[in-house]
Amino acid sequence: MTPFRPLHDAWTVRSASGDVRAPAAVPGCVHTDLLAAGLIPDPYLDDNETRLTWIGRTEWCYETEFSWDGTGHERTDLVCEGLDTVAVVELNGVRLGETANMHRSYRFDARDALRVGRNRLTVTFGSAPAYAERLREELGERPGAYTEPYNFIRKMACNFGWDWGPALVTAGIWRPIGLHGWSGARIAGVRPLVTLGDGTARVDVHVHVEKTGAAEVSASMGGVSGRAVVPEGRDEAVITLELPEPRLWWPRGYGEQPLYELRVTAGDDVWRREIGLREVRLRTEGGAFTLAVNGVEVFAKGVNWIPDDCFPTRVGRDRYAARLAQACEANVNLVRVWGGGLYESEDFYDLCDRLGLMVWQDFTFACAAYPEEDPIGAEVEAEAREQVTRLSAHPSLVLWCGNNENIEGYADWGWQEALQGRSWGGGFYLETLPRVVAELDPTRPYWPGSPYSGSMDLPPNDPGHGTMHIWDVWNQRDYTVYRDYRPRMAAEFGFQGPAAYATIRRALSDEPLLPDSRGLLHHQKAVDGNLKLAAGLKPHFPVPETFDDWHYLTQVNQARAIQLGVEHFRALWPHCAGSVVWQLNDCWPVTSWSAVDGDGREKPLFHALRRAYADRLLTVQPHEGGLALVAVNDTGRPWRASARAVRHRFDGAALAAQDLALDVPPRAAVTLPLAAPVAGPGDPADELIAIESEGCARALWFFAEDRDLRLPEPRYDTAAEAVPGGLRLTVTARTLLRDLAVFPDRLDPAAHADDQLVTLLPGERAEFLISGAAGLDERALAGAPVLRCVNDVAPLRDETARR
Ligand code: BMA
């Protein structure tokens, strides 16, 4: 008999007034219930969002009936793994408890309320905005980047709307709920804390129990086991397991991810998890911010992660698996779970453990001053204790971080004046959270916030210390400005681009579809977003005249911006120990900084990231008034090879060449200046440098911006051939083709291409595998708007023709 009995059936949801009623999915939320019942339109389409704010302002009652035949257990608890958010829980009219924190679980002793036979369970959710506004009234206004009161309630902040997300304030039973019967003892939490010794791994298994008398606990793993007794009056025992010759867990790209099953028992309660053996340190000497795993310093090829859906219960293991597989395909090794979102579910961290993706987890605070008074203060302590315990078993978790941008806000955004001495969250980031991490999981590094420079006496966003967020690019300045920064860890930097065409078309009925048509503007949440897209394009490209050119060029520009940033940061290794791109994913169809859009489609940025994050990278960088090749070797083996740099005319003619010997130690970057004949152009508008070496992608350098280049009118031949898995489209260039990309989703939303943004010299060929759809029109695949290159953008073409 399994002691946990889920109560997921026969739920209904109704508004307090009784006007709205629907069958309910549990786990789930009110929006998805109303949508399934056909009572509301899809909140992600057109501007439906604006007509649905009433949902967040309504009180919702979830109710079910179930039968219970009594058990022989001493205790029966009602376990709520997640309630969103302000709830009263009643069983047969008996109030079991109240909740106000989405980031915690709750357990109520249900013995006295349960009846043999029929039982009625009711969870009534108050309006989250109304609760937060009441608390704001009581505790006093706190400044933030947005006006919504998300800092007055422990609920996923971006649910109130963000600069990439809609305001759809949910309510509901968002994680499993059920009855748990137990006798004697139950395991309330296990913290397997790993340290490495000389050729051994030591796992201190902290077993936290709830019990009715003395209890014996045991732990076993890899053929080693131990026992302990939790004496009367105590609730924790530690069992130490020493494993000889451990197989260590490594981040992807550094080694394997072996996992060991750890089994813990207390009475007849059993807890099982696969854990990894590894040690992580954060090296901060001299301002550094370098993660070291098993003593090896790691460059974080990172992305920021936001909730993958505004309705988190729609994100199950499959969705996580698909998204994290995309991260791996983009050669990412670290995912930062951003503080405006969630502590994700077990599946997320379990997949990261298996994939070797390091996880940097923010505590869930973002972009606002937070009150430290109760009830928020007490909730934060409880939530932190629960999450630090829950996630301690995951080898992927390498860093706890106090918050997103709140220390910066306090120091640099004028908050102190607005606060008039009120609490702002500093006590959380500098006292509560580090104390909880030090007590419950001292094996994990903790950093008070991002950005943060290691001391409240330093400017939080100081490039020379700790983590840095670079947002003047995108907001005000051209993306080449990334090169002016020498951060120790670029924890956020991003550039917007629109979603894939098929995603936009699914979500919007705009006719005609224009960059500023109503729907597309509604799905652009950033302040002056489209103006910034245009401003960002201007130094590089001519002003696009059609929607298709706008769409292609803004996507290309996004990719170019981030590729330039990433390659610059990687070239700075080991001074800079990571680049964490804002952002991997989206939660709905939107123009945003993401590499993968809200329908899971890869934007051109995704492919640029894959190249920029390759284990072996060749990149051309400005260097001492000239140019240099930087070879970055993110493998454990030395990289010895020859490379050839050639300055070409656009017609392919080689104008100058230089042979270079690459000799790059493991995990190192080497700078090789380019000789003047290669680095100095005769005609900057008609020349480029290509540097090739076997076993890695070639590096390209153009001497001028595209708008100032004399790109030839594009000429090429195409051939399509059916191959296993789809269609192979071969493009043979007869002229230079810059940033060639194929967008088969223009023809069929199910179609997908395996590559984008390939630059070809005359005579060269590119192959694209197009999968997911059959019967595509091969002629349509051979030209705009499906097959694109920068040369065919109208003003550039006209310019060329005029000459
Ligand atoms: C940073 C992030 C997010 C935001 C992004 C883009 O501030 O932490 O809050 O979405 O910039 O503006």
Give 278-332 pLDDT, tens digit per residue: 999 999 999 999 999 999 999 999 999 999 999 999 999 999 999 999 999 999 9
Which among 470, 582, 585 is the best mutation to test ligand 1's pocket, defined by most ligand atoms within 8 Å of the CB?
582
CATH number at 184-275: 2.60.40.10
**Smallest Cα–Cα separation from 553: which of 738, 770, 752?**
738
| Whole-number pLDDT of residue 1 | 38
Which pLDDT value is given to residue 802? 58
Pairing of strands 300-305, 334-337: parallel
Domains of the chain: which residue ranges? 4-180, 184-275, 302-356+392-411+446-612, 616-704, 716-793
Q: How confident is the model at residue 3 (pLDDT cuts 50, 70, 90)?
A: confident
Is the pLDDT reported for residue 179 higher than 80? yes
Quote the pLDDT of residue 800.
Answer: 60
Q: Residue 137 CA to chain centroid, in angstroms? A: 33
Residue 524 · residue 586 · CB < 8 Å: no
Residue nearest to atom 8 of ligand 1 (CA): 404
Percent of the chain having pLDDT more than 70?
99
pLDDT digits (tens, 9 = 90+) for 342-371: 999 999 999 999 999 999 999 999 999 999
CA of 634 to the centre of ligand 1 (A): 29
Going from the Cα of 314 to the center of ligand 1, the distance in angstroms, rounded, reads: 23
Do 302 and 580 touch, CB atoms closer than 8 A? yes
Among 461, 467, 483, 451, CA closest to 561: 483
Amino acid, res. 128: A
Q: Mutation test of ligand 1: which of 146, 160, 163 has the most ligand atoms closer than 8 Å to its C-beta?
A: 163
Count other Cβ atoms within 10 Å, centred on residue 739: 22
**In the chain, how long is the greatest CA-to-CA distance?**
91
Residue 666, pLDDT score: 98
Protein residue whose Cα sits closest to atom 9 of ligand 1: 367
Neighbours of 423 (CB within 10 A): 18
Q: Give tens-digit pLDDT for 443-483.
A: 999 999 999 999 999 999 999 999 999 999 999 999 999 99
The pocket around ligand 1, CB under 6 angstroms, is made up of 162-164, 340, 366-367, 404-405, 471, 492, 582
Q: Which of 134-138, 197-201, 318-322 has the lowest mean pLDDT?
A: 197-201
Would the pLDDT of 170 be above 50? yes
pLDDT in tens, 729-762: 999 999 999 999 999 999 999 999 999 999 999 9
Architecture of domain 4-180: Sandwich (2.60)
Q: Rounded to an integer, what distance in angstroms lies between the CA atom of residue 647 and that of residue 703?
A: 10
Does pTM top 0.95 for this prediction?
Answer: yes
Q: For 180, phi and psi rounded to 5 degrees?
A: -125, 115
Q: Which residues, listed in sequence order, are joined to residue 23 by a DSSP beta bridge?
A: 12
616-704 CATH pick, 2.60.40.10, 3.30.830.10, 3.40.1160.10, 3.40.50.80: 2.60.40.10
Q: Would you state the pLDDT for residue 573?
A: 98
Return the SS3 of 161: strand
Report phi then psi at 135, rounded to 5: -65, -35
Q: What percent of the chain has pLDDT over 90?
A: 96
Element (H, E) at 236: strand 236-244
Are 184-275 and 616-704 the same fold in CATH?
yes
DSSP string, 570-637: HHTTTTS-EEEES-S--SSS--BS-SB-TTSPBPHHHHHHHHHT-SEEEEEEEETTEEEEEEEE-SSS
Sequence letter at residue 306: I
pLDDT digits (tens, 9 = 90+) for 409-421: 999 999 999 999 9
For residue 513, count CB atoms less than 10 angstroms from its CB and return exposed for 0-12, middle for 13-18, buried for 19 or more.
middle
What atom in ligand 1 is closest to the CA of residue 404?
Answer: 8
The confidence score (pLDDT) of residue 794 equals: 75
How does the average pLDDT of the chain come out, rounded? Answer: 97
pLDDT tens-digit profile of 525-563? 999 999 999 999 999 999 999 999 999 999 999 999 999
Is there a cis peptide before residue 27, judged by omega within 30 degrees of 0?
A: yes
Dihedral sign for Cα atoms in the order 774, 779, 785, 788: positive
pLDDT for 801 equals: 58
pLDDT of 109 above 70? yes
Amino acid 188 reads A
Residue 475 CA, closest ligand 1 atom number: 12
CATH superfamily of 302-356+392-411+446-612: Glycosidases (3.20.20.80)
CB-CB contact of 460 with 488 (8 Å):
no
Tell me how far apart the alpha carbons of residues 788 and 444 are, in angstroms, rounded to a whole number.
Answer: 47
Residue 763, amino acid: G
Question: What SS3 state is found at 417?
Answer: helix
Atom of ligand 1 at shortest distance to CA of 526?
12
pLDDT tens-place string over residues 202-242: 999 999 999 988 899 999 999 999 999 999 899 999 999 99
Specify the CATH number for 716-793; select among 1.10.3720.10, 3.40.190.10, 3.40.50.1970, 2.60.40.10: 2.60.40.10
Q: Stretch 642-665: mean pLDDT, rounded? A: 98
